Amino acid sequence: MGRIGLTTDRLVRAGAELADEVGFEQVTASALARRFGVKVASLYSHVRNSRDLKARIALLALEELADRAASALAGRAGKDALTALADVYRDYAREHPGRYDASRFRLTPEEAVAGAGRRHSEMMRAVLRGYDLTGPEQTHAVRLLGSVIHGYVSLELAGGFSHSAPDPQESWSWTLDSLDTLLRTRAAR
């Protein structure tokens, strides 16, 4: 049988697609090999092991998210920037639930730093620069913002808000609105 041209990159991208289709948990070396019509052992020349594969998918998702966030933030400030950033995460999670789950994969500190981890927190800080917060408060706000976004997105994704009025979109708008008010109030304090 000829070679079909596996590469780490193709595996990772296919893994990301698989994650969106069947869930990040179900992304397995076996399933991936099956998808490429190849024997499992063949993957091990391209990824170290199963954990490595998942970590790479996580890094891919984080990069994609950071790219989207960077575009969304360009030319925006204040509440506009806040909602743009928050929407990036929420939209990404709805379009790519498996990848979003992947982005929550617990990476080692080195992996996270080498990857897009830093870009994400810098963008959060950039958004918050639009609200005049003092040093420690800025960190509190970064943490709050991260918590609200991740918390909302993951509860919504898990189906926590489904089949109940009002529409989750309304709650989302209300939440971002509240967050904006809150941050402005804190700044003015």
Contact 87, 95 (CB under 8 A): no
Q: Select from 26-34, 89-97, 103-111, 170-178 the region that touches DNA (CB under 7 A).
A: 26-34
158 interacts with, out of a copy of itself, DNA, none, CB within 5 to 8 A per kind: a copy of itself
- The residue among 88, 176, 170 whose CA lies nearest residue 184 is 176
Give the one entry of DNA, a copy of itself, none that residue 125 binds, where binding means its C-beta sits below a cut-off of 5 to 8 angstroms depending on kind: none
Query: Which tokens in the block code for residue 56?
Result: 């790479």
3-class state of residue 73 by DSSP = helix
In angstroms, rounded to a whole number, what is the distance separating the alpha carbons of residues 97 and 23?
7
| Count of residues engaged in binding DNA, rule: CB under 7 A | 24
Out of 38, 112, 148, 182, the only residue in the binding site for DNA (CB under 7 A) is 38
Instruction: Say which residues have a Cβ less than 8 Å from residue 116's Cβ, sequence separation at least 6.
Output: 59, 62, 63, 65, 66
* Shortest Å, Cβ 17 to DNA: 16
Return the closest-CA partner of residue 101 out of 11, 19, 8.
Answer: 19
By a kind-dependent CB cut-off of 5 to 8 A, residue 106 interacts, out of DNA, a copy of itself, none, with: a copy of itself
Query: Could you tell me which stretch among 22-30, 87-95, 125-133, 150-158 binds DNA (CB under 7 A)?
Result: 22-30
How many other C-beta atoms can be found within 10 angstroms of the C-beta atom of residue 176? 20
In the bound state with a copy of itself, the residue whose beta carbon lies nearer, of 71 and 178, is 178
* Contact between residue 23 and residue 98 where contact means Cβ atoms under 8 Å apart: yes
> What H or E segment, with its residue span, contains residue 87?
helix 78-95
- Near a copy of itself by CB under 8 A: residue from 161, 169, 184, 188: 161
Residues at the interface with a copy of itself (CB under 8 A): 104, 106, 136-137, 139-140, 143-144, 146-152, 154-155, 158-161, 164-166, 168, 170-171, 174-175, 178, 181-182, 185-186
Residues at the interface with DNA (CB under 7 A): 1-7, 28-31, 37-42, 44-46, 48-51
